[in-house]
Amino acid sequence: MTTTTTELQLTFKSSAGKKKNLNFASALPNLTADQVKAAASAIAGEKLFVKEGEILYDAPLSAKYIERNVTTVFDDSNH
> Would 77 be classed as within a structural domain?
no
Domain that holds residue 24: 2-71
> Would 50 be classed as within a structural domain?
yes
> Would 76 be classed as within a structural domain?
no
> Would 16 be classed as within a structural domain?
yes
For residue range 64-74, what is the model confidence (pLDDT) as tens digits? 999 999 999 99
Cα–Cα–Cα angle for 69, 75, 65, rounded to 5 degrees: 15
Instruction: Quote the number of domains for the chain.
Output: 1
> Would 28 be classed as within a structural domain?
yes
> Would 42 be classed as within a structural domain?
yes
Beta bridge partners of 7: 66
> Would 39 be classed as within a structural domain?
yes
For residue range 18-75, what is the model confidence (pLDDT) as tens digits? 999 999 998 999 999 999 999 999 999 999 999 999 999 999 999 999 999 999 999 9
Q: Global pTM? A: 0.84
